[in-house]
Amino acid sequence: MPARVGIVVRTRHRPGFLRGALADIAAQTFSDRRVVVVDDGGDAAEVDSVVAESGLTDVDVVHITEGEGGRCVAANTGVRTLDTDHVVLHDDDDRWHPEFLSRTVAWLDGHPDDAAVAVPTEIVYEENRDGAWVEVGRAPFWAGMQRVSLSEMMSINRMVPIAVLYRRAVHAEVGWYDETLDAVEDWDLYLRILRHGDIGFLPGEALAYWTQRPDAEGLDANSMFGLAAEHARDDAVVRDRALADWVRREGVGLPLFVAASQAELAAHVDRSIDRAVERIVERLRTDVRDDVRREIDAHQPVMSRLRRLRRRLARE
């Protein structure tokens, strides 16, 4: 019989992270699972060796030739390899609470109308110390989150793949990960899921740990830092595509009105900030000694240039 849960591990030239991910999976209290390690253009022999060393017997390995993969291709390749009820992406550098799978599977069993379920998540900050990445701090990711809201998700992604278990069948309804994107592929999928159904949320303690290494470069970098430009570009692509769909159906009237209102609001905020700065400067000039007043006056041109630069950046 097929396993109930399929776990897709995307990795590329990161044997240390892959070793940790497999150990993390082995520590799960839920064992009815199947693991697919997708080697996205890395060293095939190295990946095979790490998997063999892990001792896990429920692991398949798929190697993608360098230059033919990418984040979305790797995700789709892994999911298509599976025939499980549920799927989760476990990127090689992220981690779980030992009961992540048992609790999320129980949620989906108890909420048959939910297409997926997300869990509270902690950001785990890491730094390189003597050649090893070590934890240096933690912070909640979207502290106080109680539900998955479409309106909030339209503003910004509030979930990461390590925190979301979903029914594999949703791909038949909403499609696969969009392989034209280099980033935000998870957010794009979640938005499509939310157009058709609900994503549940399991409140309580953090069950997923999203590691971040702000100072890392190259292969050790997180996608949100290493692919920052791609994130910004593909975020705009997803939004523009949705806006184009709306315009084709409904016309340009409402988007034009919203765009004008947004521009008016931004101009109002700029004017309010400028007036506040001017009041503060005038108050300082009134209340301080002559030598300090002369110093403030000397910096007025600089402050004016800063205000102009801020307005120009806002327009761009």
Residue 175 maps to which CATH number? 3.90.550.10
Residues 6+ apart with CB under 8 A from 77: 38, 62, 64, 69
How many structural domains does the chain have? 2
On the CB side of 169, CA atoms within 13 Å amount to 9
Residues 21 and 51 in one domain: yes
Structural tokens at position 202: 């399991």
Residues 290 and 189 in one domain: no
Structural tokens at position 21: 């991910």
Q: Give the helix ranges, DSSP H, for the chain.
A: 15-26, 44-54, 71-81, 100-110, 150-155, 170-174, 185-196, 223-226, 228-250, 253-287, 290-298, 300-315
pLDDT at 305: 54
| CA gyration radius, the chain | 24
Residues 257 and 241 in one domain: no
Residues 310 and 161 in one domain: no
Instruction: Give me the DSSP letters along 135-178.
Output: EEEEEEESTT--S--HHHHHHS----GGGEEEETTHHHHH----
Residue that is last in its domain, among 226, 246, 266: 246
Cα–Cα distance measured from residue 279 to residue 274, given in angstroms and rounded to the nearest whole number: 9
Residues 305 and 158 in one domain: no
Confidence of residue 104 (pLDDT cuts 50, 70, 90): very high
pLDDT-wise least confident of 95-99, 177-181, 309-313: 309-313
Report the largest interatomic distance among the alpha carbons of the chain, rounded to a whole angstrom: 85
**Per-residue pLDDT tens for 197-229?**
899 999 999 999 999 988 877 777 777 676 788
Cβ neighbour number for residue 256 with a 10 Å cutoff: 11
Exposed/middle/buried for residue 62 (C-beta within 10 Å: 0-12, 13-18, 19+): middle
Closest CA to 47 of 62, 35, 66: 62
Cα–Cα distance measured from residue 303 to residue 285, given in angstroms and rounded to the nearest whole number: 14
Under DSSP, is residue 35 helix (H, G, I), strand (E, B) or coil? strand
CA triple 92-196-231, angle to 5 deg: 40
Residues 24 and 95 in one domain: yes
Residues 192 and 142 in one domain: yes
Average pLDDT, the chain: 88
Residues 172 and 276 in one domain: no
pLDDT at 224: 66
Structural tokens at position 92: 């090689």
pLDDT at 293: 57
Phi, psi of 124, deg, nearest 5: -110, 115
Residues 116 and 52 in one domain: yes
Cα–Cα distance measured from residue 108 to residue 83, given in angstroms and rounded to the nearest whole number: 17
Cα–Cα distance measured from residue 50 to residue 19, given in angstroms and rounded to the nearest whole number: 6
Residues 171 and 134 in one domain: yes
Cα–Cα distance measured from residue 135 to residue 98, given in angstroms and rounded to the nearest whole number: 18
Residue that is last in its domain, among 221, 246, 271: 246
Residue that is last in its domain, among 189, 222, 246: 246
Q: What is the pTM of this model?
A: 0.82
Residues spanned by the domain of 298: 253-315
**Per-residue pLDDT tens for 143-171?**
999 999 999 999 999 999 999 999 999 99
Residues 49 and 186 in one domain: yes
Residues 240 and 260 in one domain: no
